[in-house]
Structure 1
Amino acid sequence: MTDIPKREINIWWALIPLVVMIVAMVLTIVVFQGEPHVPLIIGTGTAALVAWKQGYTWKQMEEMMFRGIRLALPAIIIIMLVGLTIGAWIGGGIVATMIYYGLKIISPSIFLVTITIICGVVALTVGSSWATMGTIGVAGMGIGMSMGIPAPMVAGAVISGSYFGDKMSPLSDTTNLASGLTNTDLFVHIKHMLYTTVPSLIIALLVFAYIGKDFGKDAIENERIAQTIADMQANFVISPYLLLIPLLVIVLVMFKVPAVPAIATGIVMGFFSQIFIQGDASSYALQVLQNGYTINTNNEMVSELFNRGGLMSMMYTVSMTIVAMAFGGIMEYSGMLKAMMDQLLKVVKSTGNLIASTLGAAFLTNATCSEQYISIVVPARMFATVYKKKGLHSKNLSRSLEDGGTLTSVFIPWNTCGVFIYTTLEVHAFSYAPYAMLNFTVPIVALIYAYTGFTITKIEKPSLALHSEKAKDASG
């Protein structure tokens, strides 16, 4: 492994790759309606040039990129498995069955609340917002859209529930990452997050209850639901027994089977369901795993719901993740991100400003490095000492990393989370952003706590503790 020396980089040099990347991103996405990959590649090339100017060799820059990419390898595996799951579960009739019974049982007026809670419970169980959105979320999009609910609203509810469960799950990678990097006990970290996350979930559910109360009253919506049900019955074998497959995956995770083999079990079951229940040929079932399911129907809604999935559908997100982590790797290991964070730390004068700076730094990292893992890793390293100096318990930092990093990643269209959601739920970040209620409410609640001092836990300084013990001994 190539050694990477620590170098001090001037803030103005550090800002160059960021400015170039943002300008390229705006021009490409807003002006030319393009994709975010090339702007990130341009940013990576610019960062490499700046690092070279600072004395780093090409071998060292390669190592920076490789270290960044290695951090995302677990996420890349999940991304590919999600693509396979969507294809297998659509081909096996599992998604159609979930949509069918969802349309039969759930009232449109309470659908947004219901899907938020369901996604929250599933994500809490499996520990992954991405796996939840790629399975239950896809079915939820089908149910909601069939009820006449706008796709951005449904996506916002799915995202809110999925990220609530992910954030509060002891199985979540980001939850373990935030607690581990700050040396905070996992369950102390989770308990401390309840203060910002639960009130935000309640607010989200109240908003979803209000905006969803009028859905289902229109006769056209009821006619659309009936037509969707009829078209699904015409193209799939619908059976309640197929619901045992997602239930099996949830049970496996509950019994501490790791996420990857649990999801893989669901893929295999979906594959065999397509062959033995839906009656498709093995060759076509394999093709679905690779390229996704295809269906021909006059119902545009049904076609939109079921023409998706497969491994190749996730290659857009996989390539985006690799490019983003290469850019983030150079920015972090060259010291450029540190230079920006150091400037941010100069404005920290109070506890409120410190937590606000942590939230801001996590969001900034999401926007610049396009990966939520880096938005946790970098601020954790930069702020840990400052929290200690100010006598703040590490759980304040770990909570702030998740409040500002994990949750805000969905709002950046070129962040891997924003790209994954767009690929999976087929709704753009700018469209679902106003409805991802939990994700933007949590940082606001965290800011209120930061400046009021509510739930901000301090630690007793060692010197004071020692003095206190001596005083007790003297009085005794």
Structure 2
Amino acid sequence: MKDFKIKALIPIGVFLIVYFIPGWISGDFYKIPIIIPFIVAAGVSIAMAPGKKISDRMNVFTKGMGHSGIMMMCLIFMMAGAFAGVAREMGAVNATVNIGLHYLPDEILLAGLFIIACFISLAVGTSVGTVVALTPVAIGLATATDISSAISVGATIGGAMFGDNLSMISDTTIAATRTQNCRMRDKFKANIRLVLPAAVISIMLYVFIPISGTSQEVTVSLIDYIKLAPYIVVLVAAAFGMNVFLVLFIGIVLAGTVGIIAHDFTIWTLLESISKGMQSMAEIVMVSLLVGGIVEVIKLNGGIDYIIRHIGKRTQSTKGAEFSIVALTGIVNIFTANNTIAILMSGPIVKNIANKFNITPKRSASLMDTASCFIQGLLPYGAQILAAVGLAAGSLSPFDIMSNLYYPYLMGLTVVVSIVFTRGRNTIAK
């Protein structure tokens, strides 16, 4: 295959240009809706698709959109959105925060804030939602003590990225496992070994930061513990390998039942919460469909083979391939400022690299997800840091927070250490 096959990658270049340049000019990478660059790239892909007639080219593109893996991923996104919406509406996030703060001694509030953020993000599957829920709490704790707001908000973002990386219902986990064709349970086990050391070291660092002052007393009731149940059930069921659709269905039913008993909503508002939760995932579902079509065209035009061959010339070992996976995912994330999109775009290419160098699906999925979360947690124009800055009402800048992020830096270090020093790990999954 000749090097002119690099032209097959033009749709990706078009996407990056349409997305990155307006964001760079405006100073706001969320100024342009993410779906617009993908629609433009999709139009270019259709024009480049094999076939003389436009109908033939559309058939190629829609074949990629309708791939069973893409359809499965979209369904999981919708179910995850429904569960997160119902749990949020019935007060599960607030209950989790209250329980955590109630039992944490003032001396370890920072470590506790990190742990609470870990659990909430692990349960709800979104780092941005966790940052939005906890940043006001973090700033309030900083006001009541002698710690800086930047450190407390940094602990919140770090914990949120830890949970998002591991959550069974996180869109990054769903995208990573589906593109690499591995079970969530297997990816979780591989992932937890990769990032747990970074989390433990982060907690130790937060414990040793001196704190003075007294935080406000938080009381909890029986209903707070009951509202925690849906998260616990979903986490445990998913960890034991239950089918993800069944896990999410049970979570929705349980969260809805608790909400109705607690009079947080009626059966009608419950149905509305389910609908709104699914609709909240509409953009990522549409992006997934468009990515499926774009990747199909790129693959048929030889673009993926070109990348694999290009990487292969410079990669002589499994370790080199793993560094390539991390670099590819990270670079795409830098340009897109969205870790889920980075995984969706990188996933098919990473799968080919993993197959060529005998890297197991759970390992490639774990590396992709971790690399994307590492980069996303450090971007000054990423949604997590921007959300925190907005909630801080101008008292913090992105760079104030970036200089106080422990976990993302340590997570990146553990990935490098894992690749360099772990041996005899990779075999082809049967």
Structure of higher RCO (CA pairs closer than 8 Å, 6+ residues apart): 2
* 1:332 Cα deviation from its structure 2 partner: 1.4
Counterpart for residue 54 of structure 2: none
Counterpart for residue 320 of structure 1: 283
* 1:348 Cα deviation from its structure 2 partner: 1.5
Counterpart for residue 454 of structure 1: 422
Counterpart for residue 146 of structure 1: 140
* Number of positions where the alignment pairs a residue of Structure 1 with one of Structure 2: 396
* 1:318 Cα deviation from its structure 2 partner: 2.8
Distance, in Å, in 1 between the alignment partners of 2:271 and 2:24 is 31
Counterpart for residue 3 of structure 1: none
Counterpart for residue 249 of structure 1: 230
Of 210, 215, 234, 1:213 maps to 210
Q: Deviations over 1:122-144 (max 9, x none)?
A: 666x5x633x875x766544432
Distance, in Å, in 1 between the alignment partners of 2:65 and 2:381 is 18
Distance 1:430 1:70, change over 3 A: farther
* 1:171 Cα deviation from its structure 2 partner: 8.2
Distance 1:183 1:144, change over 3 A: closer
Contact 2:121-2:161 within 8 A present in 1 as well: yes
Counterpart for residue 387 of structure 1: 357
Q: Could you tell which deviates more after superposition, 172-181 or 392-401?
A: 172-181
Contact 2:65-2:293 within 8 A present in 1 as well: yes
Counterpart for residue 114 of structure 2: 116
Amino acid across the alignment from 1:44: I
Amino acid across the alignment from 1:445: T
Counterpart for residue 254 of structure 2: 265
Counterpart for residue 331 of structure 1: 294
Q: Deviations over 1:245-276 (max 9, x none)?
A: 2332144333566134314422442354245x
Q: Which runs of 5+ in 1 are unaligned?
A: 1-6, 230-237, 276-280, 291-309, 461-476
Q: State how 1:58-457 maps to structure 2 within 5 Å.
A: 58-67=58-67, 68=70, 71-89=73-91, 99=97, 102-120=100-118, 129-130=125-126, 134=129, 140-148=134-142, 154=152, 156-165=154-163, 167=165, 192-210=190-208, 213-214=210-211, 216-217=212-213, 225=216, 240-253=221-234, 254=236, 258-274=247-263, 286=269, 318-335=281-298, 338=304, 339-366=306-333, 367-368=335-336, 370-371=340-341, 373-374=343-344, 377-388=347-358, 396-405=363-372, 408=375, 418=383, 422=387, 437-450=406-419, 452-455=420-423, 457=425
Of 37, 41, 44, 1:46 maps to 41
Counterpart for residue 14 of structure 1: 9
Contact 1:182-1:397 within 8 A present in 2 as well: yes
SS of equivalent residue, structure 2 residue 281: helix
Contact 1:358-1:401 within 8 A present in 2 as well: yes
Q: Deviations over 1:43-83 (max 9, x none)?
A: 43234224423435123323434545753331233234323
TM-score (norm 1): 0.64
Distance 1:163 1:148, change over 3 A: closer
SS of equivalent residue, structure 1 residue 457: coil
* 1:429 Cα deviation from its structure 2 partner: 12
Bigger radius of gyration among the two: 1
Contact 2:194-2:414 within 8 A present in 1 as well: yes
Distance 1:251 1:170, change over 3 A: closer
Distance, in Å, in 2 between the alignment partners of 1:313 and 1:172 is 14
* 1:359 Cα deviation from its structure 2 partner: 0.6
Contact 1:103-1:143 within 8 A present in 2 as well: no
Distance, in Å, in 2 between the alignment partners of 1:39 and 1:123 is 23
Distance, in Å, in 1 between the alignment partners of 2:78 and 2:250 is 15
Distance 1:271 1:321, change over 3 A: same
Report % sequence identity. Answer: 13
Q: Deviations over 1:140-162 (max 9, x none)?
A: 44432321367765565345445
Q: Deviations over 1:302-348 (max 9, x none)?
A: xxxxxxxx975985x53431343244223311126624454334321
TM-score (norm 2): 0.69
Contact 2:42-2:294 within 8 A present in 1 as well: yes
CA RMSD, Structure 1 to Structure 2 (Å): 4.8
Distance, in Å, in 2 between the alignment partners of 1:174 and 1:86 is 20
SS of equivalent residue, structure 1 residue 148: helix
Q: Could you tell which deviates more after superposition, 182-191 or 256-265?
A: 182-191
SS of equivalent residue, structure 1 residue 10: helix
Distance, in Å, in 1 between the alignment partners of 2:93 and 2:369 is 31
Distance, in Å, in 2 between the alignment partners of 1:262 and 1:399 is 25
Q: Which runs of 5+ in 2 are unaligned?
A: 52-56
SS of equivalent residue, structure 2 residue 422: coil
